[in-house]
Structure 1
Amino acid sequence: MVQVNDLPEFRKKALQWAATFDTLCYLDSNGFNDPYSKFDTLIATDARAQLTANAGNAFDQLEQFRESNPGWMTGFLGYDLKNEIEALTSANPDGLNFPDLYFFVPEHLILIKGDKAEIISDHPDQVAKAINEQVLVRSAQQSVINLKPRFSRQEYIDTVNKIKEHITRGDIYVTNFCQEFFAEDVVIEPLEIFTKLNEVSPNPFSTFFKWNGNYILGASPERFLAKRGIKLISQPIKGTAKRLDDIKADEQAKQILRNHPKELQENVMVVDLVRNDLTRSAKPGTVKTEELFGIYSFKQVHQMISTVVCEIEDNLSNVQAIKNTFPMGSMTGAPKVSCMQLMEQYERSKRGVYSGAIGYFSPDNDFDFNVVIRSLLYNSSNKYLSFHAGGAITYHAIAENEYEECLLKATAVMEVLGGTRVL
């Protein structure tokens, strides 16, 4: 255990040191008061063992990989693993070419909690020395990147209205419709951009993930699924309001969100879906809603978050518990399969890691995974940069407002890309 005198500096140095390796998972809770978090910051780097898989038998491969590596392990699950769980396909354009699943066992792991850092490594003293010797550097100013949308504003509005026709017919009740903003042939400094993103939009599930020249730079506010002892916890987000500079107006925005029929409808539908998903992993009668319609404030937005919990069924593996609820209901809709089929039809790009999950398995048989939203994805080999934004579409959704909500969710990402504008 290392006593840390200057925690922000140590964290920056540790991240800069870890980023020199080919593989890295950095998870930062940014000081949010999360009763289910095991640490303030986790830094896992340098792969001792790794698994790359695509939909087909990816969960079986992960199960075997986990059995062979019962210690710390970090990685991601892509949304398109849906095709392994249900009879679904993904045929939309994919500029990133990320795998559906990637996990690695780190050589070095740093856990920061309070003012102490624990270094788990065969050579912890060498790691501490290497971190302390780091000289912090800031890269040159990022040039402005102009992002292109897959939909024009009018195309997006027209598509939302088509989706609402399905709701009117009773095909679905609520869905999450996503659009991609992208840039081709661009060079970025991923660590610099993540550092700025984490300053502009600090969130409880922020992530810097790197492997084989690919990057996920995330500012997620949402937990997908965690296990603590015998308890499973899911915290779906549905309901968004913009933060305002004026204190009174900002408080009023919170109250409007708390009582808004459309936002409440979105949230309760997804809570019902999550409750249903959790029954597949739960001891009978243990699924309950711990908090309904909680309002939580972040730097750019207020969010409505509910917490659904259960006791995990005896002898059910962690990987199976994750598979039973994947993809998360907040990013699909209800009924789940029908929504995923329809969104494949109406969306214009493969979601990939977006609306998947990043997280860890720990040696005490717990795990914690976020929802990959508010995240930049970058393939440095083909110089393709991407992020998605989505929103819940219900019977009461106003298409123009949904478009503006997508842009609101993209605000922080646009800001760190040098004042980016959407073309």
Structure 2
Amino acid sequence: MSLSTFIELVNKKGKDRVPFFFVVDFELQKPKVWDVDSLIDENILFNFEGFSNHQKKEAISVHAEKIYPAFETYEKAFNHVYQHLQAGNSFLVNLTAKTELITSASLPDIYHASSAKYKMFYKGEWVVFSPETFVRISGNTIETCPMKGTIDADLPGAAAKLLNDPKELAEHVTVVDLLRNDLSRVSNNVQVEKFRYIEDLRTNSKHLLQTSSKITGRLPVGYEANLGEIIMELLPAGSISGAPKPMTCQVIREAEGEKRGYYTGVAGYFDGLSLNSCVLIRYIEKAGDQFFYRSGGGITAQSHAQQEYQELIDKVYVPTIGVYQNS
């Protein structure tokens, strides 16, 4: 489906208040939209904050071995990004990498065993269990809740370390400013309602703290007829790209060396009155007989390669699933 077809279809469904589900990839090359009733036939499952298109299924125990990317490989990509940051071509770049998972579980097994604010299984190709809202729209209020800044909660004084880390603060401020500007392109009265609050993420193998902010705006009356343009105007999501977006996305392509596809794209559900959507992070994809977990973090001029590599590793988890550490 082309972008123009996607926008036209979403606009029409929004105007007619017809429920639909959508997904858009990071590169904006494979947008898709479906009637919700057709998702099961398309082999797509989702559960967004308790709203789901399927009945709950009993989960089995899932275990996996993690094979992280070599630090030297990550460092090479990091150095490429850092050179652009030093040159002033970007202020913040979200750099990601793949960790191989060795497991006997299937993607549906992982989907049903996981617990998250947003989770989705897509056609036997990937599964996501995301903690991050892209945008919500209720009435004429639009809100976004970027997540930037992660720390292992088991470290002594973890919350204070996270909140007082100048690099994490600079990264968060940059993303909040970027998304405030994004919302200003589609809405009025944009404001940061909550700045840099801590969210607690617990799993069987990980306990993380992350900082988020809440930004809101007011959409014009009749915005539903332009819902397609609104969604596209905000993409790619600032929290998983960087600032400024056009140049930063070019740096990402150079450093990562391959397309992300639906990883760090967005997915959402419109019920005819309101919209809820997420950023497609905490993502496992299947390539042939292999499974890969994609993770990453924001790089600024204050970043250090070893610390950023550790954050990438800390984010390789599946909520409620026991995962064996690679020896």
TM range (shorter): 0.7 to 0.9
Matches of 2:107 and 2:303, distance apart in 1? 36
Query: Aligned match of 2:263 in 354, 358, 370?
Result: 354
Aligned to 1:222: 132
Q: Report the Cα distance in structure 2 between the residues aligned to 1:371 and 1:111, rounded to whole angstroms.
A: 13
Report what 1:275 is aligned to: 180
Q: Is the 8 A contact 1:142 1:189 kept in 2?
A: no
Kindly tell me: are residues 279 and 67 of structure 1, through their superposed partners in 2, closer, same or farther at Cα, counting changes over 3 Å? Answer: closer
Residue in 2 aligned with 1:290? 193
Tell me the equivalent position of 2:154: 244
Which of 3, 9, 17 does residue 70 from structure 1 map onto?
17
Contact 1:227 1:367 in 2 (8 A): yes
Query: Deviation of residue 349 (structure 1)?
Result: 2.7
In structure 2, the CA distance between the partners of 1:216 and 1:69, relative to structure 1 (3 Å rule), is farther
Q: Using the alignment, how far apart are the partners of 1:234 and 1:161 within structure 2?
A: 31
Residue 240 of structure 1 contacts residue 302 of structure 1 at CA under 8 Å; is this kept in 2?
A: yes
1:210 aligns with 2:122: yes
* Residues 1:111 and 1:58: Cα distance change in structure 2 (over 3 Å): closer
Q: What is the distance in 1 between the residues matched to 2:322 and 2:34?
A: 29
The one-letter amino acid of 2:33's match is F
Q: Percent identity between the aligned chains?
A: 23
**Could you say which structure has the larger radius of gyration?**
1
Counterpart of 2:109 in structure 1 is: 192
Question: Is 1:336 the counterpart of 2:245 in the alignment?
Answer: yes
RMSD value, Cα: 3.4
Give, in angstroms, the shift of residue 173 of structure 1.
0.7
Q: Which residue of 2 aligns with 1:176?
A: 94
**1:86 corresponds to:** none
Taking the aligned partners of 2:178 and 2:46, their CA distance within structure 1 comes to 34
3-state secondary structure, aligned to 2:247: helix
**Is 1:257 aligned with 2:162?**
yes
In the alignment, structure 1 residue 387 sits paired with structure 2 residue 299: no
Q: Is the 8 A contact 1:181 1:388 kept in 2?
A: yes
Q: Say which of 234, 249, 257 aligns to 1:325.
A: 234
2:86 aligned partner, one-letter code: T
How far residue 142 of structure 1 moved from its aligned partner, in angstroms, is: 5.4
Give 5+ residue unaligned stretches, structure 1: 1-52, 84-99, 121-126
Report the alpha carbon displacement of residue 409 of structure 1 after superposing the two structures with TM: 0.2
- Could you tell me how far 1:218 is from its partner in structure 2? 2.1
What is the SS of the residue equivalent to 2:326? Answer: coil
Whole-Å separation in 1 of the counterparts to 2:316 and 2:126 = 15
Q: State the Cα distance separating 1:267 from its structure 2 match.
A: 0.5
Number of the residue aligned with 2:275: 367
Query: Within the alignment, does 1:154 sit opposite 2:72 as a pair?
Result: yes
Q: Per-residue deviation at 1:231?
A: 0.6
Q: TM-score, normalised by structure 2?
A: 0.84
Q: Deviation at 1:65?
A: 6.2
SS of corresponding position for 1:298: strand
Aligned residues: 316
Q: Tell me, yes or no, if structure 1 residue 309 matches structure 2 residue 219.
A: no
Structure 2 portions without partners, runs of 5+: 40-44
Q: Confirm or deny: 8 A CA contact 1:375 1:388 kept in the other structure.
A: yes
Residue 32 of structure 2 is aligned to residue 102 of structure 1: yes
Q: Which amino acid aligns with 1:243?
A: A
SS of the residue corresponding to residue 114 of structure 2 reads helix
Residue 141 of structure 2: aligned partner: 231
User: Does the Cα contact within 8 Å between 2:128 and 2:280 map onto a contact in 1?
Assistant: yes
